[in-house]
Each structure stands twice: as C-alpha cells, then as structure tokens.
Structure 1
Amino acid sequence: MSLKHAILTLLETEEGSGYDLLKRFKSRLGYFWNASHQQIYAQLKAMREQGLLEYDVESQHDRPDRKVYRVTDKGHKALLDWIAQPVKIDKVNDALLVKLYAGHLTDNTSLLNEVQQHKLVHQRMLQTFLDLEQDYLALSPEQKPQYTLPYLTLRRGILGEQAWLEWAREVETFLAKNT
C-alpha cells in the first residue's frame, strides 16, 4: 500500500486539509499505517499534480489560507483500480524478534526486561482497541453499517494484540525459568 491510497481512502469519505488528514491518520489509520506531517503534505502536492486531487482555498483569520482537498474522478478511479488489485503480504521487521533470536549471546534478564516493556505498550494498545470496540458496539443499528468494515480492521488489531500478549507470556515464562 502506498500513502497515496491511504490519502485517497480518507478523502473519499470526507474532504479535508493536510492538517485534517494528519488528524484522521492518527485517529483512524494510525494504528496500522503511519505517515508524518511532511509525508502527507508532499504526497498531497504530488497527487494534485497527477490530477488525483483538487482543492479549494478557504481564507482564515490570523492564519494562512487553508487548502481543502477532494478526490477527482481520476483519483476515484485510481483508488478503485488499487482496491481491485491484490496486495503483497507484509513481511515483519521486528527488532525484538531479532534480539530474541540472538538471545543466546546475552543474559535472559535483559531480554525479559525488554519483553516486559514491550508488553506494557501492547497492553495499552489492546485497551485502546477495546475502548474503540465499545464505541462501535454502542452505535445504533442505523449507524453500524457504514462502520462495519473499519470495525473489521479494528478486530484485526484486537486479535493481533491479544496474540502478541499471549506469545509474550510464553517468552516470559521461558526466560524466567532460564535466568
């Protein structure tokens, strides 16, 4: 997936400025796709030059004018074409796994401490996801259909965090026994 397709996806549902997109990344896609402020603005410029986006300028008092982007017909077609194509399966690049793989070169106590630090992060993320799930479950039956597919991405996040925490318990048990 490219940043271009993530931006098209977000703008398909709601027009917005670069700042709006940054906020939406953090609140909607940021759990599984990251983009910096600079990356978003550079990509918006490139996409406009490619004819995938257009914008209107809104004047603001005491601040620079704001560009509100929307998807063009060409951008909509590009997004549909991308959706129709299979995506590559992502490979995992996880430094913690490399450390564990090379763990025979160090003491288990330092590895155990690091796994426990990572575990705290994953526990917080799981709780965030579970809170978001409660928000979805509290929606009215009329509201739920438009959020069903985003909810399924949330479920992937929940299951992924639960699996990671279960694996971490196995690692902790092994490292604690062999310290």
Structure 2
Amino acid sequence: MKTRNPADYPVLGVLYLGPAHGYDLCRELRERLGEVWTLRTSHIYALLAGLEKDGLVRHDRIDQETRPAKKVFSITDGGRLVFLAWVRSPVMNVRDIRLEFLTKLHFARFDSPTAVADLVTNQLSVCRSTQKRLKREETLCRTETDRAALDFRLAMLSATVTWLVKLLPPDLRRFAETG
C-alpha cells in the first residue's frame, strides 16, 4: 500500500461526505476541522491532483453561464476504501493525536454508529501498550536527560489515556477506566 500524505485524508473525508469543488472543499475543511488542519487553497488543489492521479478521486467539469467551468470532485470506490481503512485505524505515535487522531475522530462519526467507540478503544489499546513498553525501558535510562524524556513521554501518554476514556460513552467508560 502506498504511503500517503497525511493531508490527503481530510480532503478524502470531505469528499466522502459528498462531491465538492475546490473552493467548497477549502471552506468545508475550515468549518469542519478549524485549527486542526490549516491547508492553503493551493495545497488542496495539489492534493486533489495527486489523489486523482492515484484514482482515489475524480472530477466532472460543470459549465457555468457567466463563469469558467468548474471541477466538481468526488471520491471513487477505491478512495472510499483507502479513507475508511485510515479512519478506522489508531495512530501509532502520541504526537499524531493532535492532528491525525482528531481528524479521524471527526470523520468516524459519519462511518457507523460504533465507529467512534471502536476507534477510541483501539487508540486506548495502542497507548496502553506503549505505556507498558516505556515502563519496561525505565531501567535502561542512563542519564537524567534520558529519564526526563521518558517521564515526559509517560506523562503525555497518561494524559492521553485519561482524555480518550472521557471520549467513550458512559457504559464503555467504566470498563475502559479499569482496563
């Protein structure tokens, strides 16, 4: 599977919800994801070109009476598969929570009734596994700086786990707090 530019996915996400031309796509991204993703219009058009080249989106030219024709983009079946596989998978690094996970969380709401809980549960599993691995590495710290860096990473993971648990519905939250 081709490694994709992470910025491809919010573009695919908007198109997953319905066709859009470039300007509408830019507006939708700003409205939906606010400060999570800040993509310039020129960047979005470059992403669309790459996605179209890879067969994940296509466009139709729509003639307008008083303006030049516009391209309306839509996601292909292949694009849908790539997007949903991305949305349903947790991020592997805590540093990707702020950008990628929040984007996945937004679009998972449009996937299925259980998609958000599944995504959060899988992300909790990844974070807890990473916590266990890092705790095993505590004995390997040779310097104060190594120890401080590890303590920082563990604190970030602990805060992330607490936040993720709060995202779950109450019936799942009780189970996750003890997990």
TM-score, scaled relative to structure 1:
0.49
TM-score, scaled relative to structure 2:
0.49
Larger radius of gyration: 1
